[in-house]
Amino acid sequence: MKPQKGLTVVFQPGGRKAVVNHGVSLLEAARKAGVAITTRCGGKAGCLMCKVTIAKDETAGVRPPGDIERRKLGSALEQGVRLACQAAVWNDVTVQVPEDPLKAAVRRKLEAARRGEDDKLW
């Protein structure tokens, strides 16, 4: 059997990459790349915390959603939202990972303080 070519998954923002085998979940690829994706259910499609976005021109990079993902995500699938624990790498793909809400709050506060709009940090 011919060895399978590694597939490259790029995580944005940041551009971290992982080379993985066909069929590996985006969550596993993220862990390999050192990208933190929050989970509570351990990858069982129960918590919906692992949502990522795949651009429309990148959808061939992941396996089409199965019944569980369709039921859990509904119309969000049309915006390219996928569950990292369920979406399997099918080709080279770029994935958008949402910013952690706590980090986003800290970043906004620091940016406001730098602009002089907020003189108290907390």
The three-class DSSP label of residue 12 is strand
Question: For 1-122, where are the E strands, in sequence order?
Answer: 7-12, 16-20, 51-54, 81-83, 93-96
Site for ligand FES in 42-81 (CB under 6 A): 43, 45-50
Kindly tell me which of 79 and 112 has the beta carbon lying closer to ligand FES: 79
Which pairing describes strands 51-54 and 7-12: parallel, antiparallel, or unpaired?
unpaired
Q: Closest residue (Cβ) to ligand FES? A: 85
Look at residue 118 and give its three-state secondary structure.
coil
- Answer for which of 36, 41, 104, 110 binds ligand FES (CB under 6 A) is 41
Candidates 83, 87, 95, 97; binder of ligand FES (CB under 6 A) is: 83
The dihedral formed by the CA atoms of 28, 92, 64 and 82, expressed in degrees to the nearest 10: 50
Provide, rounded to whole angstroms, the least separation between the CB of residue 98 and ligand FES. 13
Closest separation in Å from C-beta 51 to ligand FES: 8
- Residue 72 or 109: the one with the smaller Cβ distance to ligand FES is 72
Binding footprint of ligand FES on the chain (CB under 6 A): 39, 41, 43, 45-50, 83, 85
